[in-house]
Amino acid sequence: MRDAVAALVRDGDTVVIEGFTHLICFAAGHEIIRQRRRDLTLCRLTPDLIYDQMIAAGCARKLVFSWAGNPGAGSLHAFRRAVEKGEPPLELEEYSHFGMVARLSAGAARLPFWTLRDYMGTDLPVANPRIRRVTCPYTGEVLATVPALNPDVTIVHAQRADAQGNAQIWGLLGVQKEAALASERVIVVVEELVDQSVIRADPNRTMIPGLAVDAVVVEPWGAHPSYAQGYYDRDNDFYIGWEATSRDASSLTRYLEEFVFGVRNRAEYVERCGGLERLRASSRVCAGVNYGY
Amino acid sequence: MRDAVAALVRDGDTVVIEGFTHLICFAAGHEIIRQRRRDLTLCRLTPDLIYDQMIAAGCARKLVFSWAGNPGAGSLHAFRRAVEKGEPPLELEEYSHFGMVARLSAGAARLPFWTLRDYMGTDLPVANPRIRRVTCPYTGEVLATVPALNPDVTIVHAQRADAQGNAQIWGLLGVQKEAALASERVIVVVEELVDQSVIRADPNRTMIPGLAVDAVVVEPWGAHPSYAQGYYDRDNDFYIGWEATSRDASSLTRYLEEFVFGVRNRAEYVERCGGLERLRASSRVCAGVNYGY
Amino acid sequence: MTYSPAEMMATVAARELRDGEVVFVGIGLPNLACNLARATHAPRLVLIYESGAVGAEPERLPVSIGDPSLVTGSLMVCGMADVFQFLLQNGRIEVGFLGGAQIDRFGNINTTVVGSYQHPTVRLPGSGGAAEIAIHARRTIVISRLSRRAFPEAVDFITSPGHRMRGRTRSELGMPGAGPVRVITDKGILEADEDTGELVLASLYPGVTADEVRAAVGWPLRCRGTALGVEPPGEPELRLLREVLDPDGLYLRS
Amino acid sequence: MTYSPAEMMATVAARELRDGEVVFVGIGLPNLACNLARATHAPRLVLIYESGAVGAEPERLPVSIGDPSLVTGSLMVCGMADVFQFLLQNGRIEVGFLGGAQIDRFGNINTTVVGSYQHPTVRLPGSGGAAEIAIHARRTIVISRLSRRAFPEAVDFITSPGHRMRGRTRSELGMPGAGPVRVITDKGILEADEDTGELVLASLYPGVTADEVRAAVGWPLRCRGTALGVEPPGEPELRLLREVLDPDGLYLRS
C-alpha cells in the first residue's frame, strides 16, 4: 500500500475512494494521511468517516459529494467544523446521489456530461452552477446535466482480484465500476489475491478489468470499520463511537495519532484495534452456476 | 407460451426479442408466427435467424436493427429479399450496435435520448435522420444522439427465474436488462423455473427484477438453435444450413410449415428436431461466493 | 396498551402502504414501517434501497441502507447507476419515504443547511438520493416530529421539492411523481391540499388537539373540514414492533 | 513450405500486434491472427469481443463473436452497454480489426449496401459495431482480399470512416482514433499516407508485382518509395495455424 500510494497519489490530485457503505477502503485513506498528501479534491457520494478523517488530517482542499453524514449515528464533525467554522477551510461542490453517479458514468463513458431528469424545484443548481440543462433534440424537453468526473486516481476495495487487477465484487456494487473506468489511475485493494483461474472460473463476477488497473494491493481487513460481504461485518460500534470521537477536534487528533500515524501499516492497525475477529462473516455460500457449453 | 403471447403481443406492436447470439428466444418468435401477428415493428441489434423467419412469415412491417447477417454463415435471405425486392415490403431503421444499445439504455432510463461520441464521418445519419446531435453545455462539443426505444413488449430468454420473474442470466448479457426495463410489457422465458430461494441465494446474478415482468414462461430448449450457457451449445450446423434453407423462398416456407406451423408447441419442435441432446452442455460449474456477514 | 410516539408513527406509516407496492426505503422508522406492513397486511411489498438491494428480507435490523443484511437473501443487487436510472427514474418506485430537518408549508424539505448555503449555522448531510426520490417516486411519505424549528413557513434550502417551489408547481416543473401526499408527525397527519399544495391538518392522534399541532407549525395551519381521529397501534402491531422488528428499541423507544 | 493467401494474411496481421495490447476482435482471420500472436510474440494480448467477453481464451475455434467458448474461462463478461461505453468509447481499445465488401481510396469501408441506400442491388449486413470501432480504436487494421469490386475509388456508403470522408479529415471531425493504418490484402499491404490519408502500396508479398496490385484497385494506386517485401509465414507459424488454431481449415484453406 505504501508504494502504491507513493507512486500513484500526488498532492493536488482529484481522488475517489468509492464504495457505498460496503468496501470503503480505509486502509488507503490512512496511508494517504500517513504520507501527508495535501490539497486533494476528495470525491465520494458519502464522505463517510474516511473523508472525515482525511479532512481532519488536512489532506483536503475541496470536497465533492452528495451525502455527508455518519449513517445511523450522527454527523461527520470534522467536515462540519470545516464548513461551519472554516477549520480548516474546505471548498464544497455538492450534488445528489444520482448526480454523482451520473458524473462518474459520464467520466467512464468519456462523455463530457450526463443527462438526467432531476433537480427541478430544488435549490441544488443554485448552490452548484455546474448543474446545467440540455434540450432534447427529439422532444424539446429540457433536462438536467452534470459534468463528467474524471479523477486522477480512484481506489477501489474488492473482495478478490488476480495479480493483474481483474477484480471481483459481490454484494453492494455502488459506483465502483464507473469510478475506476473514469479514472486516470486505479488502485485495487483486495481482501484476497487469487490465482487467475479463480477469476476465469466465474467471469460474470468481474467488475473491474485488469487492463484498467495500475496497482493491486493485498490488505486483509482493509475496509474496516466498513465491511466486506463474505469476509467481515461492518463495525457499527466504531461508527457510533465516531460521533463522540469526532465531535471534539482534539480527540479526533488523538485517534489519528494512535490509529493512523501510530501504526506503520494495516497489519499494525488491525493489531491495535484488537478483537476484529468478532466481525468475521458467517458462512452463506451460494451454489455455483454452469459455464459449460 | 401460447397464453403469454396471446395476452401480451398485439398486432402493430413494437417488439424486442433480445439476446446477443446467446439466449435468443426462438420459442417466442415461433409462437408469434403461429399466432399470425401482423404489422410488427421488430427491433434487435442482430435480426438473426429468428427475425428472418418472422419476416418470411409476414409478421413484420418494419425492422429496427444494427447488423443483419447470419454470423459466420452468410446472409439472412428473407431479409434481403424484402429489402432488395420488396417481397414482402419492409421498412428499415438502421443504427450501429452502439446506437441500438444507447436507444435501449435511454428507454430503460426513461430519457428521450442518449448521447454518444459516434457517427462522425459515416453515412448512417444520412440514411437515418433519427440520428441527431446535441451540444455539450460544458465544453460546447457536438455529440451524436439517438432517440429512446421503448418497446411495447420485450421477450427475454434467461437461464432461470422464480415464479415472479426475477431472472438470472450468466454468460453473455447483451442488452437484455436495458430492453426489459425499457419496455411496456415483459415476457421472461426460462430454461428452468426455480424456487425463489435459489434466486435469493445469489442476488448479484439477477439481471431483471420480477417487478418489471408480466409473464414467466418455462420453455426448455427455448433458445435453440441459439444457445444457453450451461444448458446447451449453439446449433452451428443449423445456422450454416440456414444459408441454403433461406436462399430459396419456397424452402424457407417449407421449413416454417414443418417446424413452426407443423408443431403445436416447443416440446413438439424439440421432438421434431431430434437429437438435440448432442448439444447438451458439458459441466463447468464455478465455485460459489460467500454472502455471509 | 400505551405506546410511544415513534410506535404510533411507524404504525401510521405502515398503514399507508398497499400490498404489492414497490417502496424506496430509508433506515429507521421507514424501514420499520415497511417491515410492519409486510408482517401484517402487505406481505408482497417490495423493498428497494438506494444502495442497490431489491426485495431485501433482512434477518436483523439494518443500521444503514448499505447494511450487509439487506444483501444476503435479497432478490437482486445491482449497481447504483441501475437503481437511479432503471428503477427510480424509470418510474418503478411507487412510494418513497423522506424526512428532514425542515419541512415547510408546501412540503419542501431541507436536509442541506440551516442558514445560508455559503455560511450555514448548521451544515446538514445534504440530499443523498432524497432530491430524486422527491421528484420521481409516484408519491412520497414524510415522517418527522413536529416543532416550530422543524416546520417553518419556508425552508432555508429546498433539497427535496414539495408541491410549490418559489411559486411554481410540480406539474409546471415537469415532475413525474405526485410529491409528499402525507406528512406523518408525532401528533397527527398533515396532507397536501389538492388545489394549493399547502400542507393541512388531516388527522389527529388520540388525545392531541388541533391547537397543539398549530402551535408546532410555523405557518397558519389550516384544518381539513373533517379532521379524523387516528386509530392507535393495536396489540398485534405493538408486539411485532417491540418483539420482532426492533427488540432493542433502537428507533421506537422515544 | 507453401502457404495459402489466408495463411499469409493471418500471419501478417498477427505481426501487427504488440504484446500487451488490447484488441477488439472479430471472427475469422482477425481471431486467428490474435491467437497466433498470443502463441508467439504477444502472450499478454487482451482480446475483447463486442459481445462482452474480455480476455477470452477459447478452447475451440469460435464461429461467432458470441460463441460460448469466448465466455468460459474469460477474465470478465459484461453487458454491451459497458463494452461500448466504458471500454470502446472510453479509449481502452488499442487495435480494432475491420473488413468489408468495399474499401476505398481513403480507407472508408462499406458494409451496408451495394448501390443506393434506398434501392440497393445487394443489401449487406450493416455496421454492427464497425462504425464505432473505426472511430474509437486507437488504430484499426483492415483485412480484405484485393479486387476492383472490393477496392473502388469511393465506396457506395460509408459505414466505417477511414481517413477522409467527403473531403473532411478525421481530426476535423473529432475522431479519437487514428483510423485504418494498414490494409492487409492477399497480395500486399496498403498503408495510409500520413499527409493525405490515401491508401498507398507499402509492401508486396513474395512473387507479387506492384502492377498486379494496381490492377486490382479502382484508383491510381501510388507506391511508397521503398515498397518492402514481406517475410512469408515460417514453419512454426504455419504449424500453429494448421494444427492448433484452425485444424479444420475453416478460415485458412483458401
Report if pTM > 0.80. yes
Query: Quick check: D75 and A166 CB within 8 A?
Result: yes
| Tens of pLDDT, residues A130-175 | 999 999 999 999 999 999 999 999 999 999 999 999 999 999 999 9
Mean pLDDT of C76-84: 98
Residue from the list A137, A231, A286 with its beta carbon closest to the beta carbon of B132: A137
Residue from the list A105, A124, A173 with its beta carbon closest to the beta carbon of C52: A173
Interface membership of D67 toward B (CB under 8 Å):
yes
pLDDT higher than threshold 70 for residue D227: no
Query: Quick check: A115 and B115 CB within 8 A?
Result: yes
- Do residues B64 and B41 lie in contact, with contact meaning Cβ atoms separated by under 8 Å? yes
| Tens of pLDDT, residues A188-229 | 999 999 999 999 999 999 999 999 999 999 999 999 999 999
Catalytic residue among D7, D16, D21, D50: D50
Q: What is the pLDDT of residue D1?
A: 76
Q: Which chain A residue has its CA at the smallest distance from C89's CA?
A: A117
Confidence band, pLDDT 50/70/90 cuts, at residue A71: confident
Q: What is the pLDDT of residue D225?
A: 74
The share of chain A scoring above pLDDT 70, in percent, equals: 100
Q: What is the pLDDT of residue A258?
A: 98
- Helix or strand holding residue D213 (H, E): helix D210-215
Instruction: Return the minimum-mean-pLDDT range out of B288-292, D55-59, D227-231.
Output: D227-231
Residues of A in contact with C175 (CB under 8 A): 120-121
Interface membership of C19 toward B (CB under 8 Å):
no
Average pLDDT, chain D: 94
Q: Would you say residue B203 lies in a domain?
A: yes
Q: What is the pLDDT of residue C252?
A: 87
Domain containing A6 — which CATH number?
3.40.1080.10
Per-residue three-class SS string for chain A: CHHHHHHHCCCCCEEEECCCCECCCHHHHHHHHHCCCCCEEEECCCCHHHHHHHHHCCCEEEEEECCCCECCCECCHHHHHHHHHCCCCCEEEECCHHHHHHHHHHHHHCCCEEEECCCCCCCHHHHCCCCEEEECCCCCCEEEEEECCCCCEEEEEEEEECCCCCEECCCCCCCHHHHHHHCCEEEEEEEEECCHHHHHCCHHHEEECHHHCCEEEECCCCCCCCEECCCECCCHHHHHHHHHHHHCHHHHHHHHHHHHHCCCCHHHHHHHHCCHHHHECCCCECCCCECCC
**Does one domain contain both A66 and A202?**
yes
Query: Quick check: B174 and D176 CB within 8 A?
Result: no
Q: Would you say residue B68 lies in a domain?
A: yes
Query: Quick check: C82 and B110 CB within 8 A?
Result: no
Q: Would you say residue B86 lies in a domain?
A: yes
Residues of B in contact with D125 (CB under 8 A): 67-69, 75
Q: Would you say residue A191 lies in a domain?
A: yes
- Do residues A149 and A103 lie in contact, with contact meaning Cβ atoms separated by under 8 Å? yes
pLDDT higher than threshold 90 for residue C26: no
Q: Would you say residue B38 lies in a domain?
A: yes
Q: What is the pLDDT of residue B291?
A: 98
Q: How many domains does chain B have?
A: 2
**Does one domain contain both A183 and A43?**
yes
Mean pLDDT of C237-242: 94
pLDDT higher than threshold 80 for residue A72: no
Q: Would you say residue B100 lies in a domain?
A: no
DSSP string across chain C = ----HHHHHHHHHHHTPPTT-EEE--SSHHHHHHHHHHHTT-TT-EEE-TTSEES---SS--SSTT-GGGTTT-SEE--HHHIIIIIITTT---EEEE--SEE-TT--EE-SEEE-SSSEEEE----TTHHHHHHHSSEEEEE----TTTS-SS-SS-SB--SEETTEETTTTT-SS--EEEEE-SSEEEEE-TTT--EEEEEE-TT--HHHHHHTSSS---EEEEEEE-PPP-HHHHHIIIIII-TT-TTT--
**Does one domain contain both A138 and A45?**
no
Helix (H) and strand (E) counts in chain D: 6, 16
Residue from the list B178, B201, B203 with its beta carbon closest to the beta carbon of C77: B203
Q: What is the pLDDT of residue C227?
A: 65
pLDDT higher than threshold 90 for residue C248: no
**Does one domain contain both A176 and A141?**
no
Q: What is the pLDDT of residue B231?
A: 98
| Tens of pLDDT, residues D92-139 | 999 999 999 999 999 999 999 999 999 999 999 999 999 999 999 999
Query: Quick check: D80 and B236 CB within 8 A?
Result: no
Q: What is the pLDDT of residue C65?
A: 92
* Single-letter residue type at B176: Q
Residue from the list A110, A177, A210 with its beta carbon closest to the beta carbon of D91: A110
User: Which stretches of chain B are DSSP H helices?
Assistant: 2-8, 26-34, 48-56, 77-85, 97-108, 124-127, 176-182, 196-201, 236-247, 249-256, 266-273
- Do residues A251 and A244 lie in contact, with contact meaning Cβ atoms separated by under 8 Å? yes
Mean pLDDT of D212-231: 89
- All three cell numbers of A106, joined, read 459520464
Question: Can you give the residue range of the structural domain that contains A259?
Answer: 2-94+151-279
| Radius of gyration from C-alpha coordinates of chain A | 19
**Does one domain contain both A56 and A131?**
no
| Tens of pLDDT, residues C162-200 | 999 999 999 999 999 999 999 999 999 999 999 999 999
Query: Quick check: A101 and C84 CB within 8 A?
Result: yes
Beta bridge mates, B285: A290
Average pLDDT, chain B: 97
Q: Would you say residue A101 lies in a domain?
A: no
Pairwise pLDDT comparison (D75 vs C229), residue with the higher score: D75
* Neighbour tally for D123: CB within 10 Å: 22
Residues of A in contact with C128 (CB under 8 A): 45-46, 66-67, 96-97
Domain ranges (residues) in chain C: 5-99+130-145+160-200+231-245
| Tens of pLDDT, residues B182-218 | 999 999 999 999 999 999 999 999 999 999 999 999 9
Rounded-to-integer distance, Cα D231 and Cα D188, Å = 11
**Does one domain contain both A246 and A125?**
no
| Tens of pLDDT, residues B220-246 | 999 999 999 999 999 999 999 999 999
Rounded-to-integer distance, Cα B111 and Cα B94, Å = 20
pLDDT higher than threshold 90 for residue D218: yes
Residues of D in contact with A149 (CB under 8 A): none
Rounded-to-integer distance, Cα B133 and Cα B147, Å = 11
Mean pLDDT of A78-90: 96
Beta bridge mates, A41: A14, A62
Of chain C residues 72-101, which have a CB less than 8 A from chain B? 72-78, 82, 85-87, 89-92
- Using alpha carbons only, what angle is made at residue D50 by residues D47 and D54, rounded to the nearest 5 degrees? 35
The share of chain C scoring above pLDDT 90, in percent, equals: 87
Residues in chain C: 254
Residues of B in contact with D175 (CB under 8 A): 120-121
Against chain C, the chains showing at least 3 CB pairs within 8 Å are A, B
- All three cell numbers of D219, joined, read 484508383
Q: Which of B117, B136, B227 to mutate to test the interface with A (most CBs of A within 10 A)?
A: B136
**Does one domain contain both B83 and B118?**
no
Residues of B in contact with A292 (CB under 8 A): 229-230, 281-285
**How many CA atoms lie less than 13 Å away from A143 in the CB half-sphere?**
28
| Tens of pLDDT, residues A12-49 | 999 999 999 999 999 999 999 999 999 999 999 999 99
Rounded-to-integer distance, Cα B236 and Cα B239, Å = 5
Interface membership of D69 toward A (CB under 8 Å):
yes
Q: What is the pLDDT of residue A246?
A: 96
* Neighbour tally for C166: CB within 10 Å: 13
| Tens of pLDDT, residues B239-259 | 999 999 999 999 999 999 999
A vs C: CB pairs below 8 A: 164
| Tens of pLDDT, residues C110-167 | 999 999 999 999 999 999 999 999 999 999 999 999 999 999 999 999 999 999 999 9
Q: What is the pLDDT of residue C63?
A: 86
C50 is catalytic: yes
The share of chain D scoring above pLDDT 90, in percent, equals: 87
Confidence band, pLDDT 50/70/90 cuts, at residue D28: confident
Cα–Cα separations (whole angstroms), residue C59 to C41, C180, D47 = 20, 30, 43
**Does one domain contain both A72 and A194?**
yes
- All three cell numbers of A204, joined, read 460474470
| Tens of pLDDT, residues B65-91 | 999 999 878 899 999 999 999 999 999
| CATH class held by domain D5-99+130-145+160-200+231-245 | alpha beta
Distance from the Cα of D214 to chain A's closest Cα (Å) equals 41
Q: What is the pLDDT of residue D251?
A: 87
Distance from the Cα of D210 to chain B's closest Cα (Å) equals 31
Q: Would you say residue A100 lies in a domain?
A: no
* Sign, CA torsion D244/D246/D247/D253: negative
Domain boundary among B147, B162, B191: B147
- Do residues A77 and A108 lie in contact, with contact meaning Cβ atoms separated by under 8 Å? no
Residue with cell 489511475: A185
* Neighbour tally for A118: CB within 10 Å: 27
